[in-house]
Structure 1
């Protein structure tokens, strides 16, 4: 009985992780939060900062909403969820302004706008309000990790093509401890301005979405082939 329960738990945790990072990725699968995605991913550093801030809100909101789900009536759940998320975003905004002021200036208005991120409210409604505390917090973590992955990946592509660097200004924006991330990949590169501008963001995002669809199709085809071979054996 314990073995069956452990297997079921591992399957649940694995599904949560897979959904957040890949299958139900906020950007690559749901196409949510595109405004901050395209606005702040001129560099991988900006994408990392925005992703970590959003991840903190996702984890904390999932934790709090799961804890309070027995006290929140269905009639007022959406306003209460928004209020909780707004309080958490305010705390993150104040924390960034206090300890990572340079990054706060770069991200600017998009930190308060985390409140309007449909992914956060969506996870609160569809998962956190219906599950226990630890799965809810883990779901928020994996959704945040998947979101950060997409932001950093898009930012890295745009930064490399646009400037020939990777994680530029990481030390000044994220702290001296992040100086090791700063790389110059193409010395004496004159740059490609389109990649850093919003049209370049749309183009890069389109290629990323197409690449994910192609990879998913190939993975599904490989699974069908293995299933067919197993059935034949």
Structure 2
């Protein structure tokens, strides 16, 4: 793949959530509000980019036999730094995300990109891969959060992560009498994920069939 294809792969073709089905535990658990999704997304983007860059830098001096433990130590260190920063400067976000911030360490997206891409490519390409995959993950959980939040509460809102008392915007989409509170529960998470994953799969199948049809017509 060229760099453009590498960067955009995480949005549709290799979307980590709806195509590769990675990081689903945190995805299903924290996508109850836009605040949670943006906070988790930014944290994952930072860890992905930095871990990919560092692993790309040390790939030639890391013995093959211990590469996985080395990757895990790098990722765990970065996640701990991010966790401490969130705890210090965005305590409301830290409280909302809870254990799912340190669990970024075992998020399959991070280790998967380290093993599949960063360990085989240069620094710039690895950083680009981390950014693309991180943005794809973030877009996925934001979309899930918007759907679940609107259906469950009828409201789209976003608060300042550094000051929970400050609301950037909040407006009602669905009248309160027509909301479905069940979408704040695991049921809502699974239904939303299943619908979005099925939709993306159908879109990819349509694109593949169209490409095959064009190829046949060209022959």
TM norm structure 2: 0.93
What is aligned with 1:132?
122
Q: Could you report, residue by residue, the CA deviation over 1:68-125 in whole angstroms, capped at 9, with x for unpaired residues? A: 1112111111111000000000111011112211111100110000001111111111
Q: Give the 3 Å change call, closer, same or farther, for CA 130–190 of structure 1 in structure 2.
A: same
Q: Is 2:38 the counterpart of 1:48? A: yes
Structure 1: which 4+ aligned runs deviate by more than 6 Å?
Answer: none
Residue 199 of structure 1 pairs with residue 195 of structure 2: no
Please list, as runs of the form range in 1=range in 2, the aligned pairs for 1:105-124 lying within 5 A after superposition: 105-124=95-114
Is it true that 1:73 corresponds to 2:73 in the alignment? no
Please name the residue that 1:223 is paired with. 211
Query: Is it true that 1:172 corresponds to 2:160 in the alignment?
Result: yes
Could you say what secondary structure the match of 2:22 adopts? coil
Q: Deviations over 1:5-58 (max 9, x none)?
A: xxxxxx511221232221111111111111111110011221111111111100
Structure 1 spans left out of the alignment, 5+ residues: 1-10
Q: Which residue of 2 aligns with 1:82?
A: 72
CA shift in 2, pair 1:46/1:14, >3 Å = same
Unaligned runs of 5+ in 2: none
Q: How far apart are the structure 2 equivalents of 1:187 and 1:100? A: 31
Q: Does 1:186 align with 2:181?
A: no
Establish whether residue 27 from structure 1 lines up as the match of residue 17 from structure 2.
yes
2:31–2:141 Cα contact (<8 Å) kept: yes
Q: Partners of 1:142 and 1:181 in 2: how far apart?
A: 27
SS in 1 for 2:143: helix
Structure 1 residue 175 displacement after superposition: 5.5
Does structure 2 retain, via aligned residues, the 8 Å contact 1:163–1:190? no
C-alpha displacement of 1:228: 2.7
State the Cα distance separating 1:209 from its structure 2 match.
0.9
- The answer to which structure has the higher helix fraction is 1
Deviates more, 1:214-223 or 1:132-141: 214-223
